[in-house]
Amino acid sequence: MGPQIINPELFHDKRGTFHEVFNMDKEPWSHMHFQQQNVSVNHRNVFRGLHYQYENPQGKLVRVLRGSVYDYIIDLRMRSPDFGRVQRFHMKADDTLLWVPECFAHGFFVLEPETIFTYNVFGSPYMKEDEYSINPSQFPEIAQEWIAQGRTDEGYPIIMSDKDKAGLKFKEAPIYE
């Protein structure tokens, strides 16, 4: 199963709303073991990613709790018709979730100050020695000059970790057959 936007059913009453974020008995993650939940609070113009684990792949259920991001995923399955294709999702603080399957690199660019981003991780446990980072600046769909120049159109600096700046070129990254 590929990536998909998930819009959970909302229940409204006089108190507000309620919805189920995920249920282990429902697809697409029902066959996978829940590993961890992560939350990051990010400044505007932060780029995190493009990350994945090769030997121990993980699926991620991602969501923005406050603010907004451009979320990017890249299919690393060589036999897929979408191999190497960048998909971008504009995600904002609402009830929408994005399922990022195993064997995809994932990253996001923060559009608003103090954006809160969360993701539930399914599949294999996190192993630092198995994590890879692909440098986003080589993808025109992501870079569009601003990553390559290190600045947004408004002149603000892009904030990236040293690890992500030194990420692999796509052609050097381990991929799935």
Q: Tens digit of pLDDT per residue, the chain (177 long)?
A: 688 887 777 788 898 878 777 777 776 677 778 889 999 999 999 999 999 999 999 999 999 999 999 999 999 999 999 999 999 999 999 878 999 999 999 999 998 999 999 999 999 999 999 999 999 988 888 876 566 556 666 667 889 999 999 999 999 999 998
- CB 60 within 8 Å of CB 31: no
Domains of the chain: 29-130 (2.60.120.10)
Q: Annotated catalytic sites, by residue?
A: 51, 119
Residue whose pair of structure tokens reads 């986003």 in the numeric block = 136
Long-range CB contact pairs, 16-24, < 8 A, 24+: 17/95, 19/95, 21/61, 21/63, 21/97, 21/120, 22/61, 22/97, 22/120
Q: Is the C-alpha dihedral spanning 134, 139, 144, 148 positive or negative?
A: positive
- CB 5 within 8 Å of CB 97: yes
Q: Is the C-alpha dihedral spanning 44, 45, 48, 49 positive or negative?
A: positive
